[in-house]
């Protein structure tokens, strides 16, 4: 059964935060006949998003008209600071997180997870320059700067900065479809994929 993968984008989102996971999940669907994923982007409204360094992206859907989301991916980037006061978008993230099978927080999207209280007394990863801000936003969260990504709860995984979102995406593919599918996708992408684990106790 095909799972819908919704990737939230916004002004000043980090490009690889959304493009990396988009590629991993899309290529997995491309090279597997059963098409395990349907990947699309979502923004607050229909306007073109201007990502970090000026890349323009037309979102597929808005937070008001998207299909059911099985896997929510929240991009990071400089724009996450502005979203900390966007109560409508924060409420949407919380609502979709509750109904989705999984939420993947990429890079500084941890700010939003922390703001929502989803990281209280839980381990998390983020961009190395964001841990200091996270100590203010979510003082009860447990930083894991030595890790590439980690399992923050049964439904929430958080990754470190920028390219770490690709590794978390491969981990998710392996978890859902098996290690062989993740390896085959990585071979197609010519990506140096190293199988990893993401538990509360240990992440390589």
CATH number, domain with residue 152: 3.40.50.880
Residue 204 counted as domain residue: no
At residue 132, the 3 state secondary structure works out as helix
CB 67 within 8 A of CB 40: yes
Answer whether residue 168 shows pLDDT above 80.
Answer: yes
User: Which helix H or strand E contains 41, and what residues bound it?
Assistant: strand 37-43
Pairing label, strands 102-105, 49-50: unpaired
**pLDDT at residue 198, rounded to an integer:** 61
Residue 202 counted as domain residue: no
Please give the residue range of the domain that contains residue 168: 3-189
Count of domains in the chain? Answer: 1
Give the pLDDT confidence of 13-26 residue by residue, as tens digits.
999 999 999 999 99
Answer whether residue 194 shows pLDDT above 90.
Answer: no
Residue 57 counted as domain residue: yes
How many CB atoms within 10 Å of residue 120?
A: 13
pTM of the model: 0.95
Residue 158 makes CB contacts below 8 A (sequence gap 6+) with: 104, 105, 109, 110, 113, 119, 124, 125, 126, 149, 150, 152
């Amino acid at each position: 059964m095909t799972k819908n993968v919704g990737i939230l984008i916004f002004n000043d989102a980090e490009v690889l935060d959304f493009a990396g996971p988009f590629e991993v999940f899309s290529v997995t669907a491309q090279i597997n006949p059963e098409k395990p994923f349907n990947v699309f982007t979502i923004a607050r409204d229909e306007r073109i998003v201007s990502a970090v360094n000026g890349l323009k992206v037309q979102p597929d859907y808005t937070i008001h008209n998207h299909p059911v989301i099985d896997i929510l991916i929240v991009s990071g980037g400089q724009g996450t600071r502005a979203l900390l006061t966007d109560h409508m978008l924060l409420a949407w993230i919380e609502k979709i997180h509750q109904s989705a099978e999984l939420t993947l927080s990429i890079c500084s999207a941890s700010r939003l997870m922390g703001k929502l209280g989803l990281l209280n007394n839980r381990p998390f990863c983020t961009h190395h320059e964001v841990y200091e801000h996270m100590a203010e936003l979510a003082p009860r969260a447990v930083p894991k700067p030595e890790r590439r990504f980690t399992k923050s709860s049964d439904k929430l995984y958080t990754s470190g900065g920028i390219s770490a979102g690709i590794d978390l995406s491969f981990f998710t593919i392996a978890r859902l479809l098996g290690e062989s599918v993740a390896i085959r996708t990585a071979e197609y992408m010519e990506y140096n994929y190293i199988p990893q684990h993401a538990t509360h106790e240990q992440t390589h």
